[in-house]
């Protein structure tokens, strides 16, 4: 299965933003997303953080995190007696066309399908052609 971690442009305004980790009760997973937008000259246009993440497919997200994809940087940490896997991924997109509002997500591609796994909800940001969006995903889950 070919896997893709990316940023997709849509014209939907998503609302909410905070600085804490979102914890999903189904998998005891914590997810935090940081988004940095720079113009073509490298000047900062926008910076957002959100822990409001909608996971649409927990099994698919865990399967993606279980892979050794080069975009995923993993390490095991201990908090008290508990061991957790800390997974970090960075996605960079230079926009080739203008848009009003952007959305950041994790998806997986296979030979015959495209599946949405998680969406980072935030107020959105306008972009113009040449803007560079860097999305930093930080995911904490119990180590297996």
Element (H, E) at 57: none
Q: What is the pLDDT of residues 28-87, one digit of tens each?
A: 889 999 999 999 999 999 898 988 898 988 888 999 999 999 999 999 999 899 999 999
- Model pLDDT, residue 101: 67
The CA–CA distances, whole Å, from 131 to 34, 41, 78, 99, 121 equal 16, 9, 38, 10, 20
Separation between Cα atoms, residue 89 and residue 69, nearest integer Å: 10
Reported pTM: 0.74
Q: What is the pLDDT of residues 78-114, one digit of tens each?
A: 989 999 999 999 999 898 887 766 778 787 776 677 7
Separation between Cα atoms, residue 36 and residue 108, nearest integer Å: 23
The CA–CA distances, whole Å, from 64 to 18, 101, 110 equal 25, 27, 12
- Model pLDDT, residue 22: 47
- Model pLDDT, residue 19: 31
């Amino acid at each position: 299965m070919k896997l893709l971690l990316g940023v997709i442009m849509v014209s939907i305004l998503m609302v909410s933003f905070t600085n804490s980790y979102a914890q999903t009760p189904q998998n005891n997973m914590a997810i935090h997303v940081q988004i940095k937008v720079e113009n073509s000259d490298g000047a900062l246009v926008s910076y957002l953080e959100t822990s409001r993440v909608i996971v649409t497919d927990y099994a698919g997200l865990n399967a993606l995190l279980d892979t050794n994809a080069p975009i995923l940087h993993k390490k095991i940490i201990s908090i008290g007696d508990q061991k957790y896997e800390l997974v970090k991924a960075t996605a960079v997109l230079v926009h080739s066309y203008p848009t009003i509002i952007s959305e950041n997500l994790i998806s997986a591609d296979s030979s015959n399908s495209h599946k949405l796994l998680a969406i980072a909800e935030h107020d959105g940001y306008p972009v113009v052609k040449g803007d560079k969006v860097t999305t930093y995903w930080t995911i904490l889950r119990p180590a297996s």
